[in-house]
Every structure is written in structure tokens, then in C-alpha cells.
Amino acid sequence: MAIYILKRTYQLIIVFLLFLVLSYLLFNAIPGNAFQSLLLNPDLPKEAYQRVLETYGLDKPLFERLQLYIINFFKGDFGYSYNYYPKTPIDLIAERLPRTLMLFALVNVVSFYTGFIVGKILAWRRGSKSETWITITSVFSYTVFYPWFALLMLYFFGYKLGWLPIGKFIYPEKWYDAPFDSDVVFITMIKFTVVATFIQFLAFIFTRNIESLTNRKTARLVSFVLLLLGSYFYWGSGSALEQRTYAADIAYHMILPVFTVTIVAFAGTALLTRTTMMEVLKDDYILTARAKGLSQKRIRDRHAARTALLPVVTSFIFTIITIIDGSVLTETIFSWPGMGQLILQSVTQEDIPVAMATFSFVGILALVAHFLADISYAYLDPRIRIKSQG
């Protein structure tokens, strides 16, 4: 396994280098540069423009710039943003990333979870009326033109009913005298979610060793209630108490985007789960499970859905990669100032250092996700574990 991981890491580095060179060349292939608009000003002397280019190193030939960029990249120097000087791309990403992460991590988890559950029920109830209708609805939401649908949701819930805010991630008037930045709150929220998920996961693993099924269920319920109590106390004390109202404001703004993206995104998972699970249901071990006298629910969840999970996890991991670049549309429509908007802005304004930094970030994320995908397969399917060792 160690050799396998080493080999994969080596491949990753080479792929990343190629990625870096290619994207740098592509960005520079865009005609003009970020400062060309200065030339439109007739009062600006040509020499001044030239000096600006020199300041940013844009007067050097392309190959030299590429070389410099790659060397500096591995030194951890990503340059300065052209538009937000003197901020560095890292500052910008650090500011935007928590906002995108919080929103899209939640969207992904919610949509995959509902998709998986819906898909598994669809496969189980194959041929029933409810199956037909839910499948038709899923295909509709899978194929709907997303921006149109998102606007429709905004119009309906934000404008007509007025239940939810239209766009933005906070009510600015509430934040006038806030003692901290919105990023601080975002980071607290992310930390809380990660810790809570981790505790729930641990509880799940530990209760697996309880032999009696009813006891296991009770233990899981107790751990969940304890977690709820714990989170209640967490938000009711210390620094989290101060941030509570602000966190609530952000959460309120998150409802509509999460809801909208979930409706669009769950269908893919549901249909995928349905297809794989219908294959699995034909397998002999499902008959064995039935012959053993297991309950329908147990056969469905433990035997059929568990085996059908593999392709779903694959698609989940590949969706994680698209969190950042896939957020462009959603963030634009819901005016959510996250990474998606940053990418769009930096590309349209030819802010090359920022564009390169965001793209490399997405690239690294993609490579790492692929890597994790391979490892998680080995965990989910013991048959792969053996093959990768040999």
C-alpha cells in the first residue's frame, strides 16, 4: 500500500506541474493585459503605462515570466493581485474560501444524503406508482436549466412570498457594530460543523460493536441527543455566544441557495443510486439475506444499499472537486461573494496572479480528491484492497 501511495504521489506532482504550465500559458494567451484600459486615458503618458507594466513584470518575455512564476510558486510566493493591490491572492482566497466552503459543503452533504435515500427507496419500490412519479420529478430537476430555476426560486421565495432574503450572505445593517469580521463567524461555523460531524461519525463507529440491534439503536439515539445538547451549550457560552446572532444571520441567508442547489443536485445521485441498486438487488446474496429472515429494511440498507454505495461515493468525490468552480453560477445568481465570484472576476479582468492562484487551488483540490477517492474505494470495497497490494 505504501508503494502504491508513493507512486500515486509522484504521478500527482507531474500532473500538477503540467497543469500549472498549461494554465499560465492559457491565461497569457488572452489578448491584452490587465492594465490596457489605462491607455484609454489620453492624459496618461506612454512612459507611465510602460512603468506600470515594468512594476508588475509584464514587460518581460512570456517564457521568462513563466519560469519566474513556477519558481516563485514553489517558494510560496504568488505575487500580488493587480486589482486588489497590495493584497496577495492568498489573502483573497483566505477571505473568500470559508464562505464558499460553508455553503457548498452543506449543499453537497444534504443533496447526496437525500439523493442516496431517495434512490434507494426508488429501487426498492420498483414498479409502484410513487416510484414512477418520483423518478419523473427527479429527471425533471436533473435536466432543468439551473440559472432559470434558481431565479424562479428567488422570485418565488424571496420576492412573492418574502420569506427569505434575496441574495447576499448577510444583512449589512446588522453587522455595522459587529466586533469581528464575517470570516471569523464563518470559520467558527465550519469548525463547529466539522467537529459535530466527526463526533457523530465516531459514535456510529463505536456503537457498531453492540450486538443487540435494539440496544444499538438506543445508543445511537442517545449519542445524537447528547450531540444536540452539546451544540446547544456550545452556542450558549464563550465566544460562540457573541457570534450567535451573526451566525444565525448567515444561516438564514444560506437557506435558499442550499435548498435550490439541493433540488437540482440530489436528482443525479438519486438516479445513480437507483440504477446501481437495481443491479445489486438481482444478486444472489440478496436472496441469501431474505432466506435468513432479515427484515426488509435491513436487507435494503445493510445488504443492497451498502454495496450500491461505491459509484455514489465516486460521484460524491468528483462533485467535491467542482465545489469551487461549480460555485460560479450559484454565487453569481445569489450574489454570494465567495470563490466562484473571485474566479470569474479575476479571469474577466485578467488578474493573472489571482486567477492562477485560484485555479491551482482548484487543481490541487481535484488531484487530492482523486487520490482520496482511490483510498476510500479500498475502504469501501475490500476486493480492491487486495488488488492494490498485489
Q: Distance between CA atoms of 133 and 125, rounded to whole angstroms? A: 12
Q: Give the span between the Cα atoms of 269 and 114, in whole angstroms.
A: 8
Region binding other proteins by CB under 8 A among candidate stretches 110-118, 144-152, 303-311, 366-374: 303-311
Is residue 7 at the binding interface for other proteins, with CB under 8 A as the rule? no
- The closest of 104, 115, 107 to 272, measured between CA atoms, is 115
The DSSP letter of residue 32 is: S
CB-based contacts of 265: which residues, under 8 Å, 6+ apart? 107, 108, 111, 112, 115, 319
Q: Work out which of 76, 86, 293, 390 binds other proteins, going by CB under 8 A.
A: 293
Instruction: Tell me the closest approach of the beta carbon of residue 215 to other proteins, in angstroms.
Output: 9
Q: How many chain residues are in contact with other proteins, going by CB under 8 A?
A: 28
Given the complex with other proteins, which of 158 and 311 has the nearer CB atom? 311
C-alpha cell at 46: 506612454
In this complex, which beta carbon is closest to other proteins, that of residue 75 or of residue 383?
383
Nearest approach in angstroms of CB 390 to other proteins is 12
In angstroms, give the least distance from the CB of 200 to other proteins.
22
User: What's CA 49's distance to the chain center, in Å?
Assistant: 41
Nearest to 301 by CA among 279, 275, 281: 281
Nearer to other proteins, 174 or 298 (CB): 298
Contact stretch for other proteins (CB under 8 A) within 17-25, 83-91, 100-108, 281-289: 281-289
> C-beta of 71: minimal distance to other proteins in Å?
47
Asked whether 115 and 309 are in contact (CB, 8 A), the reply is no
- Does 217 contact other proteins by CB under 8 A? no
DSSP string, 107-127: HHHHHHHHHHHHHHHHHHTTT
Residue 96 lies near other proteins (rule: CB under 8 A): no
Q: Which is nearer to other proteins, 113 or 377 (CB)?
A: 377
Task: Tell me the three cell numbers of residue 305.
Answer: 444499499
Q: Which is nearer to other proteins, 46 or 387 (CB)?
A: 387
Burial 71-86 (b: 16+ CB within 10 A, else e): eebeeeebbbbbebee
**CA 287 → CA 122, 257, 291, distances in Å?**
19, 43, 6
Which stretch, 114-122, 164-172, 209-217, 238-246, contacts other proteins (CB under 8 A)? 209-217
The residues, ordered by sequence, that sit 6+ positions from 90 with a Cβ below 8 Å of its Cβ are 78, 357
CA separation for the pair 233, 231 (Å, rounded) = 5
Among the listed residues 214, 237, 297, 390, the single contact to other proteins using CB under 8 A: 214
- Give the residue, chosen from 76, 161, 291, 390, that forms a contact with other proteins under the rule CB under 8 A: 291
Contacts of other proteins in 239-258 (CB under 8 A) = none
Check whether the bond before 172 is cis (ω within 30° of 0): no
Q: Is 67 in the site for other proteins (CB under 8 A)?
A: no
Nearest CA-CA partner of 251 in 193, 320, 316: 193
Question: Does the footprint of other proteins cover residue 21 (CB under 8 A)?
Answer: no
Stretch that binds other proteins, among 145-153, 235-243, 250-258, 296-304 (CB under 8 A): 296-304
Q: Is 194 in the site for other proteins (CB under 8 A)?
A: no
Shortest distance (Å) from residue 219 CB to other proteins = 14
Among 21, 22, 152, 213, binds other proteins (CB under 8 A): 213
CA–chain centroid gap for 60, Å, is: 37
DSSP secondary structure code for residue 145 in this structure? -
Give min distance, CB of 337 to other proteins, in A.
Answer: 43
Residue with cell 507594466: 53
In the complex, least distance from residue 330 CB atom to other proteins, rounded to whole angstroms = 35
Site for other proteins in 365-384 (CB under 8 A): 380-383
Rg (CA), the chain: 25
In the complex, which residues of this chain contact other proteins (CB under 8 A)? Answer: 209, 211-214, 283-285, 287-296, 298, 302-303, 306-307, 380-383, 386
